[in-house]
Amino acid sequence: GQNIDQPTEMTATEGAIVQINCTYQTSGFNGLFWYQQHAGEAPTFLSYNVLDGLEEKGRFSSFLSRSKGYSYLLLKELQMKDSASYFCAVVYNQGGKLIFGQGTELSVKP
């Protein structure tokens, strides 16, 4: 299988930092995406990692360790509008399929 694991729910405070972890099976790995989905809306692309290290994009950063089968999405200076579900999705094999995790529902409290 290609199990992708992420926490189901997380809660954080406005202005704080939160890290959402994602683990996956490494065999056949060919890239990892993070998506954000607000309730009732389409998922939107946040980041893509294929090499080890940190990709920073404004308040959001994504990290990848291919050897460990591990990624995280880091959200800084949290805002109420960051309350949403966050999905990691892994591409397996060249020309292969994109497998989504079950998503992490993040609630940002005042």
Partner 1 sequence: ETGVTQTPRHLVMGMTNKKSLKCEQHLGHNAMYWYKQSAKKPLELMFVYSLEERVENNSVPSRFSPECPNSSHLFLHLHTLQPEDSALYLCASSQEAPGQGGQPQHFGDGTRLSIL
Helix (H, G, I), strand (E, B) or coil at 96: coil
Residue closer to partner 1 (CB basis): 4 or 20:
4
Compose the 26-45 pattern: x for residues touching partner 1 by CB under 8 A, - for all others.
Answer: ----xx-x------xxxxxx
CB of 42 to partner 1, least distance (A): 4
39 or 67: whose CB is closer to partner 1?
39
Q: In terms of CB distance, is 4 or 84 closer to partner 1?
A: 4
Taking CB under 8 A as the criterion, the residue among 13, 79, 102, 107 binding partner 1 is 102
Residue 97 binding partner 1, by CB under 8 A: yes
The shares of helix, strand and coil residues in the chain, as percent rounded to the nearest 5, are 5, 60, 40
Specify the residue for token string 């299988």.
1
Whichever of 70 and 92 has its CB closer to partner 1, that residue is 92
Chain length of the chain:
110
Burial 47-79 (b: 16+ CB within 10 A, else e): bebeeeeebeeeebbbbbebeebebbbebeebe
Q: Which residue has the tokens 């460990």?
A: 68
Any contact of residue 94 with partner 1 (CB under 8 A)?
Answer: yes
Applying CB under 8 A, among 24, 73, 78, 103 the residue interacting with partner 1 is 103
